[in-house]
Structure 1
Amino acid sequence: MSEIQQPIDSERTLVRFADDLERIFQSAMRCLDEKIPFDEGLRDENLSVYIKSSETRILYFNESYRMVFASESLPTGRLSKAYLQDSVIPISLASDELILAGCTTAIFDHFGHDSEGKPVMLRTGKRSLRSMAHPSFAILGVTEVIELLPEEARRSAKSAELTAKWNLFSKLSDEDRSLSILLAQGLTPSEIAEQRSVSKRTIENHRTRILQDLRLDQQVDLIKLVVRLQEKGFADFGV
């Protein structure tokens, strides 16, 4: 966990967080009005602060955000789903859509993992920046860690993370799901290409897309995922 943002006291109230969100919103507005860098007005915040475009790409983040959610990554210009833990992505996307659809303010508590994979309870607030009539900036986000979860919650978190992976796997096309299973069974791209009467490059391109869709780094991670899904009873892949 970041040394910048530690879990807050359990008695911290929602009202106080709403006040912090408003204060940070006003600071962001001042930066836009006076055309000064966001870092000048927001870098000293202990809470994780970030600003997104209308395409939900990260345009600004403070050091607390990087330490809690991005670790060694540099989020600038990236979609949050490219580096956030799987457990955080659905609520991140849904709340962004809510703001972009016209909601001016949203505050909610939710479960997730930090950049080190530790399960945590989070409180997030988002504000629309569209009233500033600036074409680049659309969403202000502020997040704090409410609680580090105990070991039992960690086990539950692992189960939730695997369920999230299963949901991603289920959204693959029939062709890509079949290819994933063949790769997990140990077949090489060349062998699969011969079976399907296509080029090896075609299979490799599909494999790259599958890894991207499942947010995995390499084929060995795909093999481990398919095996885990089978072991936990999500499906029988014959591996």
Structure 2
Amino acid sequence: MTTEPEVTQTPPPSEASSQCKESDIDTDVHDEDEDWDTDLEEEKFPQREAIPEKEKSVVVYEKACKKLWYYNFSSFLRGLKKGKVNVNNQGLGPLGAKAVALSLVFDSTVTQLAISGNFIGRSGIKLITDMLKENDTITSVDISENALGSYGAELLSRLLEDNANIITVNISDNGFNEYDACFFGTILSNYKSGLKTLDLSHNQLSDQGGIILGKALGKCTDNIEQQSFFIFLLRFR
């Protein structure tokens, strides 16, 4: 009597496994022909020069766009040179957000990132927050008008709770509700981050959400310079 071989199935990757890592993109730029065997063994060819560190993020972005079959934005490339990336309302979507995130993991010059109104979705905000955990030069982030909802609220709260580099965050108009206010209230009441400005305006936080944030804000007024959501609270008094 023969027994059938046991078949093991590989579980599908989960969304949480999506990380911005150097392994996601091959940064060694060269022609495929260079890997072929030839008969010219006696010929001596110059070795390829390593990519300068300041150009690495540009190369990664262009390769990411090519790999994802996604067009690159000249505005993003200009922003890399200036140290201030503004790709607001460019229709990036999840793929465009992935190219941006992969590039900025390697960057050490950009201090401001504005990616408002791009419908980056759940996978997009996951990649952006993963990138911001690795990048230690970006201090200002605008991710407003991306309909991030509760999923985005939780990811952003985890990021801001442990990040001492980011001091200005605009996450207005993202469909956050009164339950999401608990995420941001926890950040403010514990306050271990370097956050100085947080814009939570134009969200559906309701009276209850306002109360939660108001109590949290009262515990950390010495650290906060400006809170745009405080204007929101005044509207409901």
Aligning the two structures, in what range does the TM-score lie when normalised by the shorter sequence?
A: under 0.3
The structure where strand makes up a greater share of residues is 1
Larger fraction in helix: 1
TM-score by length of 2: 0.26
Using the size of structure 1 for normalisation, the TM-score is 0.26
The structure with higher relative contact order (CA 8 Å, sep 6+) is 1
Larger radius of gyration between Structure 1 and Structure 2: 2
